């Protein structure tokens, strides 16, 4: 059995664990609307060392980019930029690595140290 994501208008609206034969039977609708996804793939890395599939495991609400052949999570902030290598959005400025807790501030387009509150 494998995981398949149902795509409607470029968005994932369902994910099933199903055999390919059952999927091809049409019992779950048009087989061409389903795209295989790997539960073990996150940010372009397969957790068991195998070949990653479509950058990320599909989840409801994700976008499926047919041209790039990848599942993309929802964009958290308008300023964040899609990194095609990992299939996810990243902030325009990397988060500081000084072990303090930060949140992204979209107004200032920078990280805010929340330990100061």
3 and 56, same structural domain? yes
79 and 23, same structural domain? no
Is 70 exceeded by the pLDDT of residue 32?
yes
49 and 2, same structural domain? yes
**Mean of the pLDDT values across residues 83-87?**
97
Average pLDDT score over the chain: 97
The total number of structural domains in the chain stands at 2
Token pair listed for 27: 């019992």
pLDDT level of residue 16 (50, 70, 90 thresholds): very high
Tokens 């599909």 found at: 58
CA separation for the pair 75, 66 (Å, rounded): 17
Dump pLDDT digits (tens) for 36-76: 999 999 999 999 999 999 999 999 999 999 999 999 999 99
105 and 65, same structural domain? no
Q: Give the pLDDT confidence score for residue 117 in this predicted structure.
A: 61
pTM of the model: 0.90
Domain boundaries, position 80: 75-117
52 and 2, same structural domain? yes
70 and 20, same structural domain? yes
CA 98 to chain centre: 27
45 and 64, same structural domain? yes
Q: Give the pLDDT confidence score for residue 55 in this predicted structure.
A: 98
Is 90 exceeded by the pLDDT of residue 31?
yes
Dump pLDDT digits (tens) for 66-76: 999 999 999 99
60 and 81, same structural domain? no
Per the rule left: phi > 0, alpha: psi between -120 and 50, beta: everything else, 6 is beta
CA separation for the pair 75, 82 (Å, rounded): 8
53 and 37, same structural domain? yes
Rounded to 5 degrees, what angle do the CA atoms 24, 69, 34 make? 20
């Amino acid at each position: 059995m494998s995981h398949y994501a149902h795509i409607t208008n470029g968005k994932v609206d369902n994910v099933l664990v199903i055999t390919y034969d059952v999927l091809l039977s049409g019992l779950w609708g048009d087989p061409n609307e389903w795209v295989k996804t790997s539960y073990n793939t996150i940010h372009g890395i397969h957790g068991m060392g195998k070949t990653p599939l479509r950058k990320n495991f599909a989840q409801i609400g994700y976008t499926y980019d047919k041209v790039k052949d990848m599942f993309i999570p929802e964009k958290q902030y308008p300023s964040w930029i899609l990194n095609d290598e990992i299939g996810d959005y990243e902030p325009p400025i990397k988060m500081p690595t000084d072990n303090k807790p930060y949140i992204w501030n979209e107004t200032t387009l920078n990280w805010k140290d929340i330990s100061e509150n």
